[in-house]
Amino acid sequence: MPVAPFDGALAVVTGAGSGFGRATALALAERGATVIAADVDGAAAERTAALAGALGPAATACRVDVADAAAMEKFAAAVRDGHRVPDIVVNNAGIAVSGPFLDTGLEDWDRVMGVNLWGVIHGCRLFGAQMAERSRALPTRPDRPNKGGHIVNIASAAAYSPSRALPAYCTTKAAVLMLSECLRAELAPERIGVTAVCPGFSETNIVRNARIVGMDEARAERLRALGQRGLRLRRYPPEKVAERIVEAIVKNKPVVAVNAEARLLRGLSRLSPAAMRLLARVPAPRVG
């Protein structure tokens, strides 16, 4: 079951309906992987599967809510029974909740934790167990240190960049980063690689679809538009992030900070935590 190159590999990508998920699914398909594109938006998953199938082997679309434990149990079993144990799993599905901590209600916490953290936990737990079981049954080969498979968890530069404007989002992404580090250590004896990918700003729809608390909806919509414009001006498309994900799988990298601001913030978080705490105080842009 080769992981790199990807000919013959089976790859599961969550949140594959758009953004990083779609770009990663297409990048893997183009390199020969058979892709299972999963998304809560079934129609979007179908579109990704169609695009992936045009680039590589036939792809499959699945509608699944990663926050739903029972649904993920069924999904993981369906992948194993209908295909086989995947070689690559990209836990990408994510949402954003923005606004002050004291204005973030329990329902908002449940929603962002359910997708951003529990979704990753479900994917790692279910598919990681399948990979580990398979790996134990296969002979060891020194030339294929991650032959047991590879798990990629999409975190964010927010994982190590505290912000008064994004307490819920930063918390979930920091948890994903630490989970990935712990899981990498645990699964290393099974020759399963684990990577946390931490993108900075990129042209996705996460801001457009974000829930913003602490203000009326009219102001929130203006702030979304402002944020989306900023992402467009950054001109860092999801395809570039997908290329870094592919590279991380091939090289079995532990943590990948994607693009300049992500690398700068990661370096600053190590060299000067005090500076990061000062940056965290910067408020969100004011909108009328």
**Average pLDDT along the chain:** 92
pLDDT at 288: 59
pLDDT at 1: 41
Over residues 129-150, the mean pLDDT reads 78
Domain ranges of the chain: 10-280
Pairing of strands 34-39, 10-14: parallel
Active site residue 160: no
DSSP string across 69-118: HHHHHHHHHHHHHHT---SEEEE-----EES-GGG--HHHHHHHIIIIII
Distance between CA atoms of residues 108 and 18, nearest Å:
22
- As a CATH number, domain 10-280 is 3.40.50.720
For residue 144, pLDDT over 80 is answered with no
* pLDDT-derived band at 227, boundaries 50, 70, 90: confident
Over residues 134-156, the mean pLDDT reads 79
pLDDT at 3: 46
Catalytic residue among 169, 193, 200, 248: 169
pLDDT at 140: 63
Residues 6+ apart with CB under 8 A from 22: 16, 37, 44, 48, 51, 238
pLDDT in tens, 162-207: 999 999 999 999 999 999 999 999 999 999 999 999 999 988 878 8
Residues 6+ apart with CB under 8 A from 236: 200, 201, 202, 203, 259
For residue 141, pLDDT over 60 is answered with no
Residues 6+ apart with CB under 8 A from 243: 27
96 within 8 A of 169, measured Cβ to Cβ: yes
For residue 103, pLDDT over 80 is answered with yes
pLDDT in tens, 239-264: 999 999 999 999 999 999 999 999 99
